[in-house]
Amino acid sequence: MLESMEWLNLAAVKNARVYVADGNLFFNRSSCGVVDTAEIVAEMAWPELKGLWGHHGKHWVALDELDAFCDREGARPASKRGTAGLIVAEQPAANSKQAKLEDATSSVARVSFSEPSEFVTCQVELLRSESFEEAFLMNSAANRARLGSALKFETVVKSNPSFAALADPVNAYKCFEDAYANGKHTIEVRVQAAMGDGLTFAFEVSETEGGVGFATEGVRIVC
């Protein structure tokens, strides 16, 4: 397509005004990134605003910059779009009350995300809808073992004022990828409580085996 006359005759192509961004993360659906989307469009549309909010070179590039962007040092490997990440929960003991609760929910959480920040957004939204079993299953096996159970996970979230603020749908939040190293992503989630100061959480997210999904390894409050 990029070599067709129809493409080459487009005014945007002739004027080098073709840009590349993650449509699934910023353009195809409303989410906590809607403000980022507006800033990205502004940086694209007005050359004098390019890079003003720090999105150029991180969240979008011009088409002729794409190869260099993908080949840059420390670039994250391309993820498989539209594939399902499988997060398998351990089989609980058959006779326990908790076993019956977890058996009533799915032992496998099937999710499809192209970006770790989208994955974290989903987990936060599950917390905000009090879907703690589903949110619990989005954690890695090691993290689920540390937490113990979905009920204990719910207790931790509700009993800690900071995590309770994260799970409160009244509070606005934004999330974005802050760092990537050794196959793990750090996703920052910034929460502005309706009453009180803002909070920042760092979600440590790993890529599941085969690179077809994500799992939360842990969450810490950033001081």
pLDDT score, position 190: 93
Domain boundaries, the chain: 5-70, 84-222
pLDDT score, position 223: 66
- Rounded to two decimals, the pTM is 0.52
Which residues have a Cβ under 8 Å from the Cβ of 211 and sit 6 or more positions away? 77, 79, 80
- Taking domain 84-222, whether its CATH number is 3.30.310 is answered by no
Per residue of the chain (223 residues), give pLDDT as tens: 778 898 888 888 888 899 988 776 677 655 556 788 888 899 999 988 888 888 888 888 888 888 888 887 766 555 443 333 333 333 344 444 444 434 433 333 444 577 889 899 999 999 999 999 989 999 999 999 999 999 999 999 999 988 999 999 999 999 887 788 877 899 999 998 766 678 999 999 998 765 558 899 999 988 6
What's the sign of the alpha-carbon dihedral 9, 10, 14, 16? negative
